Amino acid sequence: MFQKILIANRGEIAVRIIRSCMYMGIETIAIYSEVDKDSLHVQLADEAICIGKAKSNESYLNMENIITAAINKGAEAIHPGFGFLSENAQFAELCETVGITFIGPKSKTIRQMGDKSKARELMIDALVPVVPGSNGCVKDLSDAKELAKDIGFPILIKASAGGGGRGMRIAYSIDEFSTAFETAKTEAKNAFGDGSMYLEKYLENPKHIEFQMLCDKYGNTVHLGERDCSIQRRNQKVIEEAPSTIKPAIREKMAQAAIKACKSVNYENAGTIEFLLANDNFYFIEMNTRIQVEHPITEMITGIDIIKEQIKIAAGEKLSFKQKDIQFKGHSIECRLNAEIPKHNFRPSPGVILLLHIPSGPGVRFDSFIYPGSIIQPHYDSMIGKMIVHDNTRAEAIKKIRATLEELVIKGINTNQSFLYMIINNPNYIKGKFNTSFIDLNLEALLEYDEYE
Ligand code: ADP
């Protein structure tokens, strides 16, 4: 097992990883930007090193500085968390070159699956169902237009290098196609430095169902069940739950497809296979080759510490359980708490946390990095924490998350707390009647009691 791990991240996920390292008796090295020197991950780690200025590309994305820090501090492994360099094949390769273990899959796998149109092709070869669409990337606008007519509208134009819901546009008809294509392409070029585009049939009102996978270096592959991440705003997840309400027969088919997907690329470490489900048909959309924001709900229903498993797999250990050993218990819900102003088009709301009361109790978990006096920086993602609950049934979990959202007090910055509360209290959400359009369709009602003026 490793003795020292560097955590190439910040915020709640850095804190989360440090905690599992502490449970395992592994020393940790935090990295931080100049403005993050008082951040919780810096205080919790055994050692910390400043790697640059506030702007991400001068610090948390600065591969050279991070690798140098790891070498100088004697780290044997690097955990990338999510976001930043977690799905950067070049960074994983750099780690491999200097002999530091990257806690994640091989750089080759990240490259294969990070290219979303390439991943689609690999899945077609592996006989995993994908959304009907283009074979690989389209050459140009006129090629795309011809293909779109064949596939049939509505069409979703997607960036092959895309992520976080960016570089994606819908065209409902041929008249809208050119503008949608050019807008998506420009956005992709600016955000990812890559304007390669592919097409998918736009599925109306699907559910987003994803499987948490764990694969060791010896070909052992298990799934830890699925998560329903359909509550989204602008294609970004807001509330997740596990298990989903899908039929058991479909769950089993999806699980088998997810296992097939991982095996087909000799996947190693933790990963997620994302599917869309429409009219009882499911389609692969992408694989995330890293730990995900919503991993805690899976931990709550399985009792498995996924970060610990990631570290053990990276250290060359065999999975200590088989599929039949994994027990699913109860229901878990996670709400993403953001420093933002929902009423003002969800504009970020950075500032200083003046007052904080965090609810607790059986089956209540708050993954975060905030404390009274901590600063929410304008430079980074606006997520400040995740409220996670677990209970025996979905109905009880809903009551519990409602109670925790009522009890939580955060003063100093504005958050989406009441927006989350309104979702949880929506009759259709409570009945489990929702899909990826839920927030869009209910936006006005969900904002009704937002106190922000
Ligand atoms: P990203 O990598 O940017 O997160 P994904 O491909 O994972 O993009 O898709 C994010 C979300 O966008 C999905 O959860 C879903 O809500 C929506 N989406 C993606 N592809 C389709 C599609 N073909 N039809 C309908 N919605 C889609």
Which domains, from first to last, does the chain contain?
4-103 (3.40.50.20), 132-201 (3.30.1490.20), 207-446 (3.30.470.20)
Q: Can you give the pTM of this predicted structure?
A: 0.97
Q: Two tokens at 118?
A: 């390439």
Q: Whose CA is nearest to atom 7 of ligand 1?
A: 286
Q: What is the pLDDT of residue 165?
A: 86
Q: What is the pLDDT of residue 449?
A: 82
For residue 285, report the distance from its CA to the centre of ligand 1, in Å: 7
- For 111-141, the DSSP string reads HHHHSHHHHHHHHHHTT--B-SB-SS---SH
Q: Whose CA is nearest to atom 1 of ligand 1?
A: 163
For residue 359, report the distance from its CA to the centre of ligand 1, in Å: 33
290 lines ligand 1 (CB under 6 A): no
- Residue 311 CB neighbour total at 10 angstroms: 24
pLDDT block averages, 10 residues each, the chain of length 453: 98 98 98 98 98 97 98 98 97 98 98 95 96 94 96 96 91 97 96 94 97 98 98 97 97 98 98 97 98 98 98 98 98 98 97 98 98 97 98 98 98 97 98 98 92 71
Task: Give the amino acid at 281.
Answer: N
For residue 431, report the distance from its CA to the centre of ligand 1, in Å: 24
CA 198/CA 133 separation, integer angstroms: 8
Find where tokens 């499911």 sit.
282
Contact (CB, 8 A) for 117 and 137: yes
Helix or strand (DSSP H, E) at 36: none
Task: Give the amino acid at 158.
Answer: K
Q: DSSP strand E in 279-373: where?
A: 281-288, 331-338, 340-341, 347-348, 351-352, 355-357, 364-368
Count of CA atoms in the C-beta half-sphere (13 A) of 362: 4
- Residue 325 CB neighbour total at 10 angstroms: 9
SS3 content of the chain, % helix, strand, coil (to 5): 40, 25, 35
348 lines ligand 1 (CB under 6 A): no
Q: What is the pLDDT of residue 453?
A: 65
CA 328/CA 92 separation, integer angstroms: 33
Q: Which residues contact 172 (CB under 8 A, 6 or more apart)?
A: 153, 154
Q: Whose CA is nearest to atom 22 of ligand 1?
A: 202
